[in-house]
Amino acid sequence: MLTIFTEGGNLMVSIAYFKQHHSPTNFLIASLACADFALDMTVLPFSTVRSVETCWYFGEIFCRFHCCLDVSFSLASVFHLCFISVDRYVAVNYPLIYAVIFTVPVSGIFIAVAWTFSLMYSFSVVYTGAHDEGLQELVSTLSCEGSCQIFFNKTWVVVSSLLYFITFSAMIALYSKIFAVAKRQARMIEIMSNNTQSSNNYSDRVGKRERKAAKTLGIPVIAFLEFWSPYLITVIIDIFLNFITPHLGFDIVAWFAYSFDLLSPLSLVSKSNVSDCEL
């Protein structure tokens, strides 16, 4: 069911919603929807079979390829979210020169960077064998026939986790500054119209608009934190404690992270309209 919902949501966003909205922001969001849709189509069906059957039927070669696609599309999704926050930061803080700074070619460069780095990173780490260097003996004892288990050593677990946490920290910083500007603008608007309004109405309207801005801006950040943190924390703990996490437990946190794709199409509209929210 998760796969069906995410495929439908992302397909609807990437095709229907953006058909007539060719702006730099919407190109980024459409590319994000494509990353999520690609994950839904090429990764989740096989992960579902593995989780349900507790066995991998598709061979060792495809196992590696499947792992690379999983990492690539997940990283691409996270990078797109970060670049969208950069776009919204420029739009809110520099509205007069936003159209000059953030053009369609700039959006295209961000999209190319997100996809290129994600694909090159995952495929180079896995196919060069760098991911399990020094773990050969441990891997041989943990691996079993008919499974699809790709182990990452401490170096690459730390590097991969830093990519996520640095990106997430950048999103928090940018959205915090966006909210500060939105809050200031809300107060200025209310002050200008306060000549004919009571002070109580003024406070109520300011509070309402600030809460609306906070809700709009907080959706992608909070969602990313809630859905991805359990998986990242589990991976880090697992590698430093010699892979003690049971297969079922790891499956649960992995699918919880996958569930972030279900929320992505639902929050895309709010991400693209951060600068236009009612302040």
CATH of the domain at 262: 1.20.1070.10
CB neighbour list of residue 260: distance below 8 Å, 6 or more residues apart? 77, 223, 224, 227, 228
CB neighbour list of residue 61: distance below 8 Å, 6 or more residues apart? none
Domain of residue 219 covers: 2-276
Number of domains the chain contains: 1
pLDDT of residue 277: 42
pLDDT of residue 113: 96
Predicted TM-score of the model (pTM): 0.80
Distance between CA atoms of residues 74 and 76, nearest Å: 5
Residues of the chain with pLDDT under 70: 1-22, 136-146, 186, 189-191, 193-218, 261-279
